[in-house]
Structure 1
Amino acid sequence: MRDDIVVVGENRAVKRRALIRNPARQLPSGYLDRIPYLQFVLLSLLFPMWGAAAGLNDILITQFKHVFTLSDAATAFVQSAFYGGYFLIAIPASRIIRRTSYKVGVQIGLAVYIVGCGLFFPASTLATYGMFLFCIFAVAIGLSFLETSANTYSSMLGPRETGTLRLNISQTFTPIGNLLGVILGKYLIFGTGDSIEAQMEAAPTPQAKLALGQELLQNTLLPYKYILVVLVCLLVLFVITEYPAARPAEDPGSHRASLGETLRVLARNDRYRKGIVAQFLYVGLQTAVWSFTIRLALDLYPGMNERSATNYMIVGFCCFLAGKFVANVLIARFSAARVLVVYCAIGAVLLLLAAFGPAAASVWLVVASNLLLGPGWPTIFGQTLDTIEDKRHQETGGAILVMAIVGGAVIPVLQGLVSDVAGSLQLSFVVSAACFAGILLFFRGNLRQGAGTPGAPARAS
């Protein structure tokens, strides 16, 4: 019996050594035969970093509105600068990644993100809205490299049949970053006492008002100091960690696809085109909900200050995180498209009730809608990317999907305009409800075509 135990122990040790000596094997498709967990976890730690940046944007919108005296539509240009950076850089980023590697794309993204955060220091001195928008744009350039690399890379680091589920797991880290970004903003940017609007109105002279505004803008530096430390640590870890290429093997008789050829192929892919529209609507929906949650609370409760109103955003991100965990479990058991159809239907109803229902319940309905937002981005991304049968077009296809993030630059401005015209921020959430309805139609189409079975990739039409 003891000899048997020794033999079993030795066999396990041999297997462990074999796994160490024989890392995950890359298949001709570019996927791996198993997940390299260390690399996968480290890659997933990037996801909270763009979540933190997005969370801080929601804080900055509230602060800038009163410091710079902006309309609701003008405050949404924070998101336009952020997501506009994604839109402009995604294709160049994809071409650089294609010529180098996903790992190089991550390193470039981290380096540019560090530079963008550093620019907030001179911006706080210049104290102009345009300079802050430029800083946010610079951060977005770095994040465009990160997301273009990391989203596709996460889906490739393991077997193909679990690619969408793997991306959903990585994306579960994003709301942790959103939550940390909002918490940093709450305690480091917003103060106690009266709201920023009340403080600015109470300033006795224009000079005192200007001085108060400059003092408040200095607070924007504090969260970025902590983010800079984390970014430097991540960059060092990525430099010293070995990563698989995770690229499909090239057919010796084939040639590298040019940008024009790739665009023509993708333009003929009906499912891919619909995926771009769905991603545009999803990011716009998510950004609009997050951009105006704090503002809605301040509108509904005039005596509330920004620090207290941020609690609604914190609860919202907790709901977002919880919704992701539930969705991961459901998608592992049921069709991803079926799960998202149900999520979108409930989300649309909640936001319609928020727009037209009692004001007292409105902000809580908006907060609750975060429960339904979680699985949208990774599921749309994973299923749409898998409609590309010729993997020579994959990097560019992924980059165009990242470009669809520009929805975050458009939908919040549209919702802000509706708020300004209607004179009701509450009513403007009908725009977000319409986005949920559009995404529902996309997943309903996928469901009819049999896409998104449990753990399985979508198939090209």
Structure 2
Amino acid sequence: MNKPALQQTPDGFYLNRTPWFAFILLCSIFALWAAAASMNDVLIAHFKKAFLLSDFQTAFVQSAFYLGYFFVAIPAALVVRRFSYKTTILIGLMLYLFGCALFFPAASTAKYGMFLMALFVIAAGLSFLETACNTYSTLMGPRETGTRRLNISQTFHPFGAMTGVYVGSFVMFKDTDATREQLAQMSASEAAAQQLQMIQSTLLPYKWMIAVLILMFILIAITRFPACKGNGTVSEPRASIGQSLGRLRRNPRFCFGVLAQFLYVGAQVGVWSFTIRLAMQMGGMNERSASWFLLTTFAAYFIGKMIANLLMRKMHPAKVLAVYGVLCIALLAYTILVPNITAVYAAVGVSVFLG
């Protein structure tokens, strides 16, 4: 039986069926940006020793990364509006690729600031990708199954995150790496050589990432993607960005939603960024062993998302959110107050309810 020809719905936003190859490529991008974000959590532990940083200084990794999102999200939306979802995705992949390439001059100069610049550029690329892909995945098919397509796309995220942690930690961390105490006992030249070796070990995961990004860029470029941008006419003028932001600012639900998302991302980044450090302190283990807890964290996050999806079929989403929030607070309180290895398990458990 022949498939019906791919057509846009009368409003110009949705499609009569899902173009599966294009949709699978779109889903794969969710995994790619998750891998980049999760490798930051590995980099924090790695840079702490390689550059002899404090915990406060290592937090600049996430600061540089999320500043990229902050500054680029609205320009990315303007590109979608002016051109197309496909163009926005290709720009995002190019920036992501360029940011990964910046790791090589950063490693050769052994400058922490250069790595932060590279992470900012990567995040700028991811901002383009997320701005385009989240909306585009809902539009790539019939209107009534839009939410289902977004959920399918988002299930690729934890798999990408787990892959990023696994590859990053087991390539960067070596059981033979010197500890901070051992580095302190070495001569200046020996310590510098050890630190340079650790810095150079960050490159291999990003070499692999560059290869994957080049392949993905080519596949996206040669694949036909529908526009899904609506059939607006001159009689239906679009609001400017300023008008749209002004209208949203006057919507209290939107403002509270933005605040909730701000706090959620802060909690998520805070928990995930220091899981390895917590495991090292509470469990007396090295970075490679401690990274297993971070890997488990993303598995817990995936499980939590699946449970939440099931619960929301029978419960109001606000009730599920409230229960998850209370359980997060309880587990975080336990993590803060109990100074032993069980605090690490509680921190991992938090991710179940971050899902």
Does the Cα contact within 8 Å between 1:66 and 1:200 map onto a contact in 2?
no
Does the Cα contact within 8 Å between 2:6 and 2:15 map onto a contact in 1?
no
5 Å-filtered alignment, 1:271-286, equals 271-286=253-268
Aligned counterpart for 1:339 among listed residues 316, 320, 324: 320
Tell me what 2:202 maps to. 220
Tell me what 1:300 maps to. 282
TM-score, normalization by structure 2: 0.94
SS in 1 for 2:49: helix
Q: Can you list the C-alpha shifts for 1:287-319, whole angstroms capped at 9, x where unaligned?
A: 1111000000111123x1110110111111111
Does the Cα contact within 8 Å between 1:296 and 1:363 map onto a contact in 2?
yes
> Which has more radius of gyration?
1
Amino acid of the residue matched to residue 147 of structure 1? E
What CA distance in whole angstroms lies between the structure 2 residues aligned with 1:356 and 1:331? 32
Q: Can you list the C-alpha shifts for 1:362-413, whole angstroms capped at 9, x where unaligned?
A: 0000011111222xxxxxxxxxxxxxxxxxxxxxxxxxxxxxxxxxxxxxxx
Aligned counterpart for 1:329 among listed residues 310, 317, 322: 310
Aligned counterpart for 1:74 among listed residues 57, 65, 72: 57
SS in 1 for 2:274: helix
What CA distance in whole angstroms lies between the structure 2 residues aligned with 1:346 and 1:198? 38
Does the Cα contact within 8 Å between 1:67 and 1:196 map onto a contact in 2?
no
Aligned counterpart for 2:150 among listed residues 167, 177, 190: 167
Does the Cα contact within 8 Å between 1:58 and 1:291 map onto a contact in 2?
yes
Tell me what 2:121 maps to. 138
Does the Cα contact within 8 Å between 2:282 and 2:339 map onto a contact in 1?
no
Alignment of 1:311 onto 2:311: no
Tell me what 1:40 maps to. 23
Alignment of 1:366 onto 2:321: no
Distance 1:27 1:340, change over 3 A: farther
What CA distance in whole angstroms lies between the structure 2 residues aligned with 1:128 and 1:345? 42
What CA distance in whole angstroms lies between the structure 2 residues aligned with 1:229 and 1:339? 41
5 Å-filtered alignment, 1:48-447, equals 48-193=31-176, 196-202=179-185, 204-302=186-284, 304-374=285-355
What CA distance in whole angstroms lies between the structure 2 residues aligned with 1:295 and 1:146? 30
Displacement of 1:115 in angstroms is 1.0
Distance 1:168 1:335, change over 3 A: farther
Distance 1:156 1:18, change over 3 A: closer
What CA distance in whole angstroms lies between the structure 2 residues aligned with 1:363 and 1:293? 7
Mind listing any 5+ residue stretches in structure 1 that lack a counterpart?
Answer: 1-12, 375-461
Distance 1:24 1:254, change over 3 A: closer
Q: Can you list the C-alpha shifts for 1:41-81, whole angstroms capped at 9, x where unaligned?
A: 22111011111111111111011112222221211110000
What CA distance in whole angstroms lies between the structure 1 residues aligned with 2:306 and 2:181? 40
- RMSD over aligned Cα, in angstroms? 1.8
SS in 2 for 1:138: helix
Displacement of 1:195 in angstroms is 5.5
Does the Cα contact within 8 Å between 2:100 and 2:122 map onto a contact in 1?
yes
SS in 1 for 2:174: coil
Tell me what 1:418 maps to. none
Displacement of 1:27 in angstroms is 4.3
Distance 1:63 1:18, change over 3 A: closer
Moved more, 261-270 or 154-163: 154-163
TM-score, normalization by structure 1: 0.73
Displacement of 1:337 in angstroms is 3.1
Identity of aligned residues (%): 46
Displacement of 1:354 in angstroms is 1.4
How many residue pairs match? The answer is 355
Q: Larger relative CO (CA 8 A, sep 6+): 1 or 2?
A: 1
